[in-house]
Amino acid sequence: MKLKIKNFNWLAGRPVAVLNDETAKKMNVFVDDRIVISNSKKVYAVVDIFPKLVKKNQIGLSHELSKILQLKNRSLVEVGTSEMSSATLLIKKKLNGERLNKEELQHLISEIVHNNLTESEIAFFAASEKLNGMNFEEIINLIKAMAKTGARLKFKGKYIADKHCIGGIAGNRTTPIVVAICAAAGLTMPKTSSRAITSASGTADVIETISNVELSIKQITKIVNNTGACITWGGSLGLAPSDDKIIQVERLLNLDVEPQLLASIMSKKISAGSKYILIDIPYGKGAKKKNIIDAKKLGRKFKKIGKRFRLKLKIVYTDGSQPIGNGVGPVLEMLDILKVLQNEGPQDLKEKSLYLSAELLKLCRIKNAKKTAEEMLSSGKAYKKFKEIINTQNGSKNFNEKIKLLTLAKHKKIIRAKRSGRIIAISNKGINSLCRVLGTPETISAGVYLHKHVGKIKKGEPILTLYTESRKKRRDALKFIKEFKPIKIK
Amino acid sequence: MKLKIKNFNWLAGRPVAVLNDETAKKMNVFVDDRIVISNSKKVYAVVDIFPKLVKKNQIGLSHELSKILQLKNRSLVEVGTSEMSSATLLIKKKLNGERLNKEELQHLISEIVHNNLTESEIAFFAASEKLNGMNFEEIINLIKAMAKTGARLKFKGKYIADKHCIGGIAGNRTTPIVVAICAAAGLTMPKTSSRAITSASGTADVIETISNVELSIKQITKIVNNTGACITWGGSLGLAPSDDKIIQVERLLNLDVEPQLLASIMSKKISAGSKYILIDIPYGKGAKKKNIIDAKKLGRKFKKIGKRFRLKLKIVYTDGSQPIGNGVGPVLEMLDILKVLQNEGPQDLKEKSLYLSAELLKLCRIKNAKKTAEEMLSSGKAYKKFKEIINTQNGSKNFNEKIKLLTLAKHKKIIRAKRSGRIIAISNKGINSLCRVLGTPETISAGVYLHKHVGKIKKGEPILTLYTESRKKRRDALKFIKEFKPIKIK
């Protein structure tokens, strides 16, 4: 069918073509179906259907499509229904329990990156990975394919290092502190982090309270070459871009697909050019890994992969039974970080950050690693480095002003112990959900301040303070606490 | 976040809310995410993102949403990200290999019907069904849930009957003939059919060449009560509506999920009020079931389910090794049907239709079933009944005019045998794909006329004629034949 181009120039995040509902009916296509636009070459697009935006003989193009097609408004193109991507056959193969080889995985991942597979098709792939598993060779080939289809970072410096935590622990914001300490000690740390998916906040959300985190590859390269480190959002960089698409599907069910988790983390580290990598696997009740046996099982898989890619990998297993630090929520966590960098602040967050820093320095053959880490923190060198990184990311020496602007939400509520006793458990999931009820991560000033960790508590002592910008959310939060009891006292 | 309503009143097929890209970013939602709109009640919506259609403080509503919310333009509503549907936990449970009970399946299907699950979540469910299977009790409960969440048809008459074929055979358009014969013999046949998914045409596409097929439940009830039968499209009726959504996902991979196939067919028959059901399972090379053993395995499952629902079920196993009839494509198949109803036409299509009619009449305890079927056809009673049904569906006695308007596509090409020999195979899939290349089902006048079936052929005799409205498609079709050889001659 011949249709007239209408360029819309909006960024849809994928190549979207808008059709009039009558045109769609005539072509027998539905929302999210694929069509193929034939010009000098064939271009695939995802269908969206609107009656008023385009006329019967028109096809509206998102920026992504306009850029590829480079056609003026009213140009005629041939538009047809698209045959299935041949990668669907590979997904079917995997669903049938067969193994995929290197070329097949390369093709599959490339089709995901080029938007030739729908989210539902990716869901079938994720389900097949979960139910039929992947053997070691498949995981290695998956990592190669994921890294190959994306951008790569390259840095000067002998020790390009990274620190990664598999997540799940509320308030556990060690990354900015570890980066500051290790960069101050001479390591190169191009750290890219994620935003919150189901938690109260991600490292990128926390850093964003005082800094620009959406940087280009060119900017990051410059910043890291100047300061030795960066702490930015990884989402917009295009490192292993298939990963973002697969994660977006998995999070629909909060699905834990181990081969994909391994491939996701390792492909991003490889793309970022890191050679010395510390991986933190917290374990315990309420953590992703319930006990040390499961944690070590996962750790061994990381090690085996690291060896194959000739990376220096160190796995640490840490206590994940309760939240770390006092603040949970973007601004609250940033305040904790600043306190630790100024030699105050939550002791548990400080100790864990020092421990991780020492382990990473040791991995990079820094002598007296533990002492070096402590010295960087106590001397203020880490704090100075942190300031330098943030100022460079902001392109302006406004660190002190940015910090002054950090404010907490206006509605607060202190929850106190009704009787003396013992806090026997603080649920990571419960605290994260409570923060979401209070408005995080969208409302950066919202969240929870934990006055206490597991241990004794006296009647009348504060347990936690809630922060939110909305009275209704405060009420919802109190209801949530009553119903789900994120903190258990005996 | 408070947003202002903008009613768009377009039929999106699901409750779609359009957000400005900046609003979406602020809310941290993506295309196809769910949001919840809080008014006096909570309403779930699927997100679509457009920059120019709505402003920053607006939310655009599709007709489906406007209808539920009943709010004027510029009314303020609270819009938030939606928590996951609790049904995702059930999908996760099924992915983990556990069984779902009656209440769980009821909830899951109800959430699909109410658009609270995304296509990707449904894909995870379909994958779990395929990989972990479903036991008999699960299938029964799935059928109950699928039928319960949709509309029901009710008819007078003792013998409410249906005929169903599991599909896969090109040109096999027996349904209109069987309906005409059996209705003429006194059965009540509220027949609803599908449009083509991957084939050249569906029964609904074929009937649509001369008749209105998009009818409401009220209209169908009236037509069937007047004439004893109907032949319409089932898609718009809302019988077992979850099925359409699940099928839309499965067809992404052309996935064959047996529990879903069984539930799909049986829930629709139950919703349509049928009690006497004939199921045709073609088998053979190129059919969905490759041999009689696999065909009978499936047949036994149908029988067991039929027994549980107290239905009279008869399974027939027919030859599915090659196409049936001469025409493949909407108009071409209609011409075959009209010929058979007038006692001419393709012998194989006629014989199969008579056989199926006799089996269905026998199931309904009509004496001398075979003779009765033959008599209905040869006497012209079946043809008269067919005219009556079509005229009633069109609300006008225009049958003869409609038939006169049937025309074949203007570009045709006869392919002849280059030497004498034997046609050893005609691929159902190959002929269907060839028709799609020629433009079916969108171009109703396009398709293939098969002059021959498997058997001897002499040099120069026509094998098939191609029909298409486009020279380019004719070229493509010739290329397709060269490359895929849908007909094998030795």
**CATH number of the domain encompassing residue B477:** 3.90.1170.30
Question: How far, in Å, CA of A76 to CA of B326, rounded?
Answer: 37
Range scoring the smallest mean pLDDT among A159-168, B248-257, B303-312? B248-257
Residue A219 lies in a domain: yes
pTM over 0.95: no
Contacts of B53 in chain A (CB under 8 A): 50, 53
Asked whether residue A102 falls in the same domain as residue A215, the answer is no
At B415-449, the pLDDT tens digits run 999 999 999 999 999 999 899 889 898 899 999 99
Please give the interface size between A and B, counted as residue pairs whose CB atoms are below 8 Å apart. 121
Q: How far is B134 from chain A (nearest CA, A)?
A: 15
Asked if A128 lies within 8 A of B131 by C-beta distance, the reply is: yes
Residue B235 lies in a domain: yes
Per-residue pLDDT of chain A (490 residues; tens, 9 = 90+): 899 999 987 777 678 899 988 888 888 787 777 788 887 777 888 888 887 788 988 999 988 788 888 889 999 999 987 766 788 889 999 998 999 999 999 999 999 988 788 888 999 999 999 989 999 999 999 999 999 999 999 998 889 999 999 988 999 999 999 999 999 999 999 999 988 877 899 999 999 999 999 999 999 999 999 999 999 998 878 888 898 888 878 877 777 789 999 999 999 999 999 999 999 999 999 899 999 999 999 999 999 999 999 999 999 999 999 999 999 999 999 999 999 999 998 999 999 999 999 999 999 999 999 999 999 999 999 999 999 999 999 999 999 999 999 999 999 999 999 999 999 999 999 999 899 889 898 899 999 999 999 999 999 999 999 999 989 899 999 999 998 899 999 9
Question: How far, in Å, CA of B447 to CA of B450, rounded?
Answer: 10
> Of B40, B115, B57, which is closest to residue B82 (Cα–Cα)?
B115
Residue A124 lies in a domain: yes
Asked whether residue B304 falls in the same domain as residue B430, the answer is no
User: Scanning every residue of chain B, which has its alpha carbon at the shortest distance from the alpha carbon of A46?
Assistant: B31
User: What mean pLDDT is predicted for residues B272-301?
Assistant: 95
| pLDDT attached to residue A271 | 94
Give me the residue label for tokens 């421990």: A355
Q: Are B121 and A253 in contact (CB under 8 A)?
A: yes
Choose from A19, A120, A436 for mutation: most chain B CBs within 10 A: A120
Asked whether residue A244 falls in the same domain as residue A369, the answer is yes
Domain's final residue, options A81, A100, A118: A81
Residue A474 belongs to what domain range? Answer: 411-489
Domain's final residue, options B14, B49, B81: B81
Nearest to B131 among A13, A50, A95 (CB): A95
User: Scanning every residue of chain B, which has its alpha carbon at the shortest distance from the alpha carbon of A94?
Assistant: B131
Domain's final residue, options B348, B367, B402: B402
User: What mean pLDDT is predicted for residues B31-45?
Assistant: 80
- Judge residue B190's burial from the number of C-beta atoms within 10 Å of its C-beta, 0-12 exposed, 13-18 middle, 19 or more buried: buried
Q: How far is A204 from chain B (nearest CA, A)?
A: 14
Residue A425 lies in a domain: yes
Asked whether residue B95 falls in the same domain as residue B173, the answer is no
Question: How far, in Å, CA of B439 to CA of B433, rounded?
Answer: 10
Asked, as a colleague might, if the bond just before B330 is cis with ω within 30 of 0, I would say no
| pLDDT attached to residue B83 | 67
Range scoring the smallest mean pLDDT among A250-259, B169-178, B328-337? A250-259
Contacts of A254 in chain B (CB under 8 A): 84, 88, 92
User: By three-state DSSP, how is residue B458 classified?
Assistant: coil
Residue A385 lies in a domain: yes
> Of B209, B259, B212, which is closest to residue B409 (Cα–Cα)?
B209
User: By three-state DSSP, how is residue B411 classified?
Assistant: strand
Question: How far, in Å, CA of A146 to CA of A55, rounded?
Answer: 40
User: What mean pLDDT is predicted for residues B147-169?
Assistant: 92
What are the residue ranges of helices labelled H in A70-101?
87-95
Q: What angle, rounded to 10 degrees, do the helices at B136-148 and B292-308 form? A: 60
Asked if B123 lies within 8 A of A121 by C-beta distance, the reply is: yes
Contacts of A91 in chain B (CB under 8 A): 253
Choose from B50, B116, B197 for mutation: most chain A CBs within 10 A: B50
Nearest to A30 among B27, B120, B248 (CB): B248
User: What mean pLDDT is predicted for residues B155-164?
Assistant: 93
Q: How far is B121 from chain A (nearest CA, A)?
A: 7
Extract the runs of DSSP E, i.e. beta strands, from A301-460.
Answer: 312-319, 327-328, 411-416, 421-426, 447-450, 455-457
Residue A155 lies in a domain: no
Q: Which of residues 13-32 of A touch B (CB under 8 A)?
A: 13-14, 21, 26-28, 30-32
Asked whether residue B209 falls in the same domain as residue B307, the answer is yes
Choose from B82, B247, B252 for mutation: most chain A CBs within 10 A: B252
User: By three-state DSSP, how is residue A117 classified?
Assistant: coil
What amino acid is encoded at A324 in this protein?
I
| pLDDT attached to residue A484 | 87
Q: Which of residues 91-110 of B touch A (CB under 8 A)?
A: 91-92, 95
Asked whether residue A332 falls in the same domain as residue A225, the answer is yes
Q: Which of residues 431-460 of B touch A (CB under 8 A)?
A: 441-442
Q: Residue B223: which CATH number?
A: 3.40.1030.10
Asked if B27 lies within 8 A of A126 by C-beta distance, the reply is: no
Contacts of B124 in chain A (CB under 8 A): 123, 126-127, 252-253, 255
Q: How far is B234 from chain A (nearest CA, A)?
A: 16
Q: Annotated active-site positions of A, please?
A: 256
| Residue A17 phi, psi (nearest 5) | -115, 125
Contacts of A50 in chain B (CB under 8 A): 10, 53
Q: Which residue has the higher pLDDT, B89 or A446?
A: A446
Asked whether residue B222 falls in the same domain as residue B97, the answer is no
Give the N- to C-terminal CA distance of chain B in Å, as an integer. Answer: 71
Q: Annotated active-site positions of B, please?
A: 256
How many domains, chain B? 4
Asked if A26 lies within 8 A of B119 by C-beta distance, the reply is: no
User: Scanning every residue of chain A, which has its alpha carbon at the shortest distance from the alpha carbon of B87?
Assistant: A253
| pLDDT attached to residue A13 | 66
Asked whether residue A127 falls in the same domain as residue A165, the answer is no
Asked whether residue A71 falls in the same domain as residue A117, the answer is no
DSSP designation for A72: -
Q: Which of residues 38-77 of A touch B (CB under 8 A)?
A: 48-53
Asked if B119 lies within 8 A of A124 by C-beta distance, the reply is: no
Q: Are B91 and B38 in contact (CB under 8 A)?
A: no
Residue A146 lies in a domain: no
Query: pLDDT tier at B250 (50, 70, 90 boundaries)?
Result: confident
Nearest to B92 among A27, A132, A255 (CB): A255
Asked whether residue A299 falls in the same domain as residue A339, the answer is yes
Q: Which of residues 205-264 of B touch A (CB under 8 A)?
A: 248-249, 252-255
Contacts of A49 in chain B (CB under 8 A): 12
Asked if A127 lies within 8 A of B128 by C-beta distance, the reply is: yes
Question: How far, in Å, CA of A366 to CA of A384, rounded?
Answer: 20
Contacts of B195 in chain A (CB under 8 A): 28
Nearest to B30 among A122, A248, A253 (CB): A248
Q: Which of residues 147-176 of A touch B (CB under 8 A)?
A: none
Tokens of A49: 């259907």
Whether residue B39 is predicted with pLDDT greater than 70 in this model: the reply is yes
Contacts of B92 in chain A (CB under 8 A): 253-255
| pLDDT attached to residue B397 | 94
Residue A154 lies in a domain: no
Asked whether residue A129 falls in the same domain as residue A39, the answer is no
Q: Residue B19: which CATH number?
A: 2.40.40.20
Q: How far is B358 from chain A (nearest CA, A)?
A: 36
Q: Are B59 and B17 in contact (CB under 8 A)?
A: yes
User: By three-state DSSP, how is residue B188 classified?
Assistant: strand
At B193-224, the pLDDT tens digits run 988 877 899 999 999 999 999 999 999 999 99
Asked if A84 lies within 8 A of B27 by C-beta distance, the reply is: no
- Judge residue B102's burial from the number of C-beta atoms within 10 Å of its C-beta, 0-12 exposed, 13-18 middle, 19 or more buried: middle
Nearest to A53 among B28, B53, B442 (CB): B53
Q: How far is A249 from chain B (nearest CA, A)?
A: 7
User: Scanning every residue of chain A, which has its alpha carbon at the shortest distance from the alpha carbon of B245?
Assistant: A30
Q: Which of residues 305-364 of A touch B (CB under 8 A)?
A: none
What amino acid is encoded at A463 in this protein?
I
Asked whether residue B167 falls in the same domain as residue B203, the answer is yes
Question: How far, in Å, CA of A432 to CA of A255, rounded?
Answer: 17
